[in-house]
Amino acid sequence: MHADQLVIATGVDTLPELDALWDVHPIKGEIVKVMTDRAAVQQTLFYKGMYVVPKPDGELILGATSEASRNRDVTVHGVQQLLSQITTLIPSLKHAKITNMWAGLRPQSTTGLPFIGPHPAQQNCWLAGGHGRNGILLAPITGKQIVQQIMQDSVALPTFQPKYGGSHMEVTINQQKRELPNHVTTIEQLREHFGLQNTVVMIEHNGAALSVDEQNDTHITAGDQIEMVRFVGGG
């Protein structure tokens, strides 16, 4: 098979190719699907790294755990962790019927940023990966960026180059360690960094809930513990 251009976007299966170039690792996620007699949730809800997604057929998708592992098994520990978090938020789901469970692997970069651009050593080869748990959400814009680069309508964005340069600061966001660029020094800048400046977000900083005004003025330092709950409207 011959191709003028090659795009590698095969998710976690790209890891053997990419490990030597970028610090990317698989993150296992376990998901549970449940059915309830009544609509417990009518919009997508995010809570402490977990989410609840209502489906038109009345089922709810509960996800997802995050664990550095290549194992694809659904485990008692993972399901228990997931259900404990979700039922703390929505106690009525304790009586929901479990209809399915599964686990998958996500390719995650240590910076939390995907790589979208040309292979540094191979001509006519393009890479798109490292999106972590947001791969399915960012797939459309990632595909558009790759096409534009191949057609030379745009160039690779420096932020998404495989080796993202600059110093970083490690904090814990929704119970996951994340590396932030050092220019992100306030909660307001953190929201902008994750594209949440126009989204309703409840934020706790080191255990203290922040008002909108406090988010603008609160500074971030290495080792901080941050919790973000994002609400997304639904129909």
Residue ranges of alpha helices (H) inside the chain are 15-18, 76-89, 135-150, 187-193, 212-217
- C-alpha span between 231 and 208 (Å, rounded): 19
In this prediction, residue 140 carries a pLDDT of: 93
Domains in the chain, ordered, with CATH?
A: 6-22+110-151 (no CATH), 24-108 (3.30.9.10), 168-230 (3.10.20.30)
51 vs 113 pLDDT, higher one: 51
In this prediction, residue 62 carries a pLDDT of: 95
User: Does the pLDDT value for residue 218 go beyond 80?
Assistant: yes
Question: Quick one: tokens of 113?
Answer: 């940023």
User: Does the pLDDT value for residue 188 go beyond 50?
Assistant: yes
123 vs 18 pLDDT, higher one: 123
For 88-134, how does the pLDDT look when each residue is reduced to its tens digit (9 = 90+)? Answer: 989 999 999 999 999 999 988 767 788 888 876 677 888 888 888 88
User: Does the pLDDT value for residue 191 go beyond 90?
Assistant: no
Q: Is the dihedral of CA 43, 46, 52, 55 positive or negative?
A: positive
pTM of the model: 0.61
For residues 55-59, average pLDDT:
88
In this prediction, residue 163 carries a pLDDT of: 52
Q: How confident is the model at residue 199 (pLDDT cuts 50, 70, 90)?
A: confident
In this prediction, residue 184 carries a pLDDT of: 79
- C-alpha span between 23 and 108 (Å, rounded): 9
- How many helices (H) and strands (E) would you count in the chain? 5, 14
Cβ–Cβ under 8 Å, residues 68 and 25? yes
In this prediction, residue 86 carries a pLDDT of: 92
